[in-house]
């Protein structure tokens, strides 16, 4: 990118884009010092107020930071935590060895509903007894990084809610249930604007983008045994795909 003195775009705006481009191209890396105002004036034959305005706007945008007495620096990019070897089973509730340390928010009994019945491939209006909804946050160092919801049909695990409320161990809950535990899954992963509730759970401004995953897990028996709905803060977390 070069500055164009005959353009209708003001020079400070062109310089702002040029600096941004250099940051995005890695010429100035995260946390690095950028050239001084005088350096830019000389390199590009610009006046000082032009340079100052370009820098001021990038500071206002959070792209640059002024460290008093030291110079102007590229803002450090937050390092995301990557979830290693991510698969559809990574956040399965039924596959947990223990639910004691995940900060389980609640286990609730939900009525059978059409949408969920369809995912679980249950025919309509058969009076199915509904779903257990287990919900827990994904926190690291007391910071909420995401939220997990797991739906388990009462049909397959009739006493799940009572067992968890009574503090029964996961290994006992799962005994004789191995044919109904998740073996594989199919999560649709998308990036989309957060719904209001999701934004509030993740402590993000409304309509912020989030990473969302949703889909069924399948048991050895062939049944859909669990449906997951996971939302993640994209500024804090990513997933490793193998």
CB-wise, 36 or 186, nearer to a second copy? Answer: 186
Longest dimension (CA), the chain: 78
Q: How far apart are CA 97 and CA 42, in angstroms?
A: 64
By CB under 8 A, is residue 95 in contact with a second copy?
no
By CB under 8 A, is residue 185 in contact with a second copy?
yes
Smallest separation, CB 84 to a second copy (Å): 9
CB-wise, 52 or 195, nearer to a second copy? Answer: 195
Adjacent-strand bridge partners of 209:
193
Contact stretch for a second copy (CB under 8 A) within 130-138, 143-151, 166-174, 207-215:
207-215
Contact stretch for a second copy (CB under 8 A) within 21-29, 34-42, 98-106, 143-151:
21-29
Rule CB under 8 A: choose which of 141, 142, 188, 205 binds a second copy: 188
Contact indicator for 172, 164 with CB cutoff of 8 Å = no
Smallest separation, CB 238 to a second copy (Å): 4
By CB under 8 A, is residue 186 in contact with a second copy?
yes
Adjacent-strand bridge partners of 131:
110, 153
Smallest separation, CB 131 to a second copy (Å): 15
Dihedral sign for Cα atoms in the order 118, 121, 126, 130: negative
Alpha-carbon dihedral 142, 174, 157, 212, rounded to 10 degrees: 40
Contact stretch for a second copy (CB under 8 A) within 38-46, 97-105, 165-173, 187-195:
187-195
Map the footprint of a second copy across residues 208-237, applying CB under 8 A: 209-211, 213, 215, 234-235
Contact indicator for 15, 54 with CB cutoff of 8 Å = yes
Tokens of 39: 């350096």
CB-wise, 20 or 164, nearer to a second copy? Answer: 20
Contacts of 203 (CB under 8 A, 6+ apart): 144
Contact indicator for 33, 72 with CB cutoff of 8 Å = yes
By CB under 8 A, is residue 205 in contact with a second copy?
no
Closest CA to 156 of 93, 110, 229, 223: 223
Rule CB under 8 A: choose which of 8, 101, 125, 196 binds a second copy: 196
Residues in contact with a second copy, counted by CB under 8 A, come to a total of 35
Q: How far apart are CA 181 and CA 167, in angstroms?
A: 20
Binding site for a second copy (CB under 8 A): 17, 20-21, 24, 26, 80, 82, 86-88, 115, 184-192, 195-197, 209-211, 213, 215, 234-235, 238-242
């Amino acid at each position: 990118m070069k500055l164009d003195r005959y353009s209708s775009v003001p020079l400070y705006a062109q310089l702002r884009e040029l600096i941004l481009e250099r940051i995005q191209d890695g010429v100035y890396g995260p946390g690095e010092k950028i050239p001084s105002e005088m350096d830019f004036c000389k390199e590009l034959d610009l006046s000082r107020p032009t340079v100052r305005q370009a820098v001021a706007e990038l500071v206002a945008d959070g792209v640059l930071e002024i460290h008093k007495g030291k110079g102007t620096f590229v803002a450090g990019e937050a390092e995301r935590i990557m979830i290693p070897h991510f698969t559809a089973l990574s956040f399965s509730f039924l596959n947990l060895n223990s639910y004691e340390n995940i900060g389980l928010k609640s286990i609730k009994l939900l009525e059978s509903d059409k949408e969920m019945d369809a995912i679980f491939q249950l025919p309509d209006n058969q009076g199915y007894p509904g779903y257990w909804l287990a919900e827990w946050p994904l926190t690291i160092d007391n910071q909420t990084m995401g939220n997990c919801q797991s739906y388990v049909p009462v049909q397959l695990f009739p006493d799940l809610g009572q067992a968890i409320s009574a503090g029964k161990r996961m290994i006992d809950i799962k005994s004789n249930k191995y044919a109904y535990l998740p073996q594989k899954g199919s999560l649709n992963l998308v990036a989309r604007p957060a719904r209001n509730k999701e934004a509030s759970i993740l402590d993000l401004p409304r309509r912020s983008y989030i990473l969302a995953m949703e889909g069924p897990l399948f048991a050895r028996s062939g049944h859909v045994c669990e449906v997951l709905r996971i939302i993640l803060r994209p500024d804090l977390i990513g997933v490793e795909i193998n």
